[in-house]
């Protein structure tokens, strides 16, 4: 293998004191800190998210992900009484069919798992390892209603705590409407009505796409060569009206500002055409961006595909420098942490 075909995963590692991992969200949402990076000049500024409008321009288009996190963690039992945890990962086209991670032994096709008194999961087939295709049925009422009633929000494992009432509200964007994610599009968690109003007054337009976030978002890169990593497929919808808005924005010299890595991947998958389907786009060194001009993102885990994406967009040296500064200045990291704007 030639050297240019090898990018060591260690290049995307950094030391992070555990106390900088945000265990709980800050109140109010828009009081998180905002680090602003300029890709051209390398300048780094420090501000707060409620001042986002200062850094966007009239004619810019802000694109957000309107997916909604579901309470995908279901605690069930077998007929024998043995406890089983079912973690919904991805909704399938067939009604009430899901890919789900199932913990425990002797998980085989035909196994029935009882969740509460009114929801049942039947294992259809093993997909890979602990990932299975299941069918959910509700004795009385709608399956999704039962999931909301019986399930828990699958907050990230690095929070090292159980779901609490605050997570139902705060591990969700204020504009979430399309059910299907098992993890939040975290860059959007900072937005409030006040922030949107200030952007509207500035002349910034807003559009929505959908990407249902799967559990793969937490998957670290385990190969030594970053270029060999693969990401799990996730469902995307980029509607025709959003494509038209993007073309209009570009035509008049405005910028397309993607809110979060999910929106970056959705827009880059679609290009300049409407898209509905699954994407496994992995943005890695060498990728040329077609649509996105600027992005808002959180601070990501070391050796993750999300950090690789951001570093590919902004330049690895600048991003790793920004992360070192963020640690020095006590920024809050990960899903409930602070934000970064890259222009």
If phi > 0 it is left, if psi is from -120 to 50 it is alpha, else beta; for residue 137 that is beta
pLDDT of residue 104: 81
User: To the nearest whole percent, how much of the chain has pLDDT over 90?
Assistant: 94
Structural contact between residues 212 and 67, judged by C-beta atoms closer than 8 angstroms: yes
pLDDT of residue 141: 78
| Model confidence at 31: pLDDT above 50 | yes
- Kindly tell me the sign of the dihedral angle through the C-alpha atoms of 207, 211, 213, 216: negative
State pLDDT tens for residues 228-265: 999 999 999 999 999 999 999 999 999 999 999 999 99
pLDDT of residue 1: 38
SS3 label, residue 321: helix
Structural contact between residues 190 and 49, judged by C-beta atoms closer than 8 angstroms: yes
State pLDDT tens for residues 38-87: 999 999 999 999 999 999 999 999 999 999 999 999 999 999 999 999 99
CA distances from 208 to 90, 136, 328 (A): 21, 30, 35
Q: Per the omega criterion (within 30 degrees of 0), is the bond before 28 cis?
A: yes
161-181 average pLDDT score: 96
80-95 average pLDDT score: 92
SS3 label, residue 333: strand
pLDDT confidence tier of residue 2, bands split at 50, 70 and 90: very low
Domains and CATH numbers, the chain: 3-69+168-342 (3.40.1780.10), 80-151 (2.40.10.240)
Q: What is the mean pLDDT of the chain?
A: 96
With CA atoms as reference, report the closest residue to 174 among 191, 199, 194: 191
| Model confidence at 3: pLDDT above 90 | no
Q: How far apart are alpha carbons 335 and 339 in whole angstroms?
A: 10
Q: How far apart are alpha carbons 48 and 52 in whole angstroms?
A: 7
State pLDDT tens for residues 113-167: 999 999 999 999 999 999 999 999 998 879 999 999 999 999 999 999 999 999 9
């Amino acid at each position: 293998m030639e050297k240019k075909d090898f990018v060591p995963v260690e290049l995307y590692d950094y030391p992070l004191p555990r106390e900088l991992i945000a265990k709980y969200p800050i109140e109010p949402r828009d009081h998180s800190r905002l680090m602003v990076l300029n890709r051209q000049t390398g300048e780094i500024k420090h501000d707060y998210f409620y001042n986002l409008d200062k850094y966007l321009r009239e004619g810019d288009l802000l694109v957000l992900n309107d997916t909604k996190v579901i309470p995908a963690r279901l605690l069930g039992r077998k007929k024998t009484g043995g406890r089983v945890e079912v973690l919904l990962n991805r909704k399938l086209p067939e009604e009430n069919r899901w890919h789900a991670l199932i913990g425990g032994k002797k998980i085989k096709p035909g196994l029935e798992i009882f969740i509460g008194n009114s929801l049942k999961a039947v294992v259809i087939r093993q997909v890979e390892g602990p990932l299975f295709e299941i069918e959910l049925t509700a004795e009385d009422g709608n399956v999704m209603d039962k999931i909301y009633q019986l399930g828990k929000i699958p907050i990230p494992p690095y929070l090292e705590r159980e779901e609490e009432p605050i997570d139902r509200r705060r591990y969700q964007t204020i504009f979430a409407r399309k059910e299907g994610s098992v993890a939040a599009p975290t860059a959007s968690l900072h937005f409030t009505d006040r922030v949107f109003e200030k952007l509207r007054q500035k002349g910034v337009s807003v559009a929505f796409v959908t990407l249902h976030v799967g559990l793969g978002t937490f998957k670290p890169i385990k190969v030594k060569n970053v270029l060999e990593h693969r990401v799990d497929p996730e469902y995307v919808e980029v509607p025709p009206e959003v494509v038209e808005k993007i073309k209009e924005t570009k035509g008049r010299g405005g910028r397309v500002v993607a809110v979060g890595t999910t929106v970056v991947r959705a827009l880059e998958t679609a290009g300049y055409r409407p898209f509905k389907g699954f994407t496994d786009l992995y943005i890695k060194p060498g990728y040329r961006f077609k649509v996105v001009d600027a992005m808002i993102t959180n601070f990501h885990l070391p050796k993750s595909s999300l950090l690789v994406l951001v570093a590919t967009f902004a330049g690895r040296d600048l991003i790793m420098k920004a992360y070192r500064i963020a640690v020095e200045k006590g920024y809050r990291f990960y899903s409930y942490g602070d934000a970064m704007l890259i222009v």
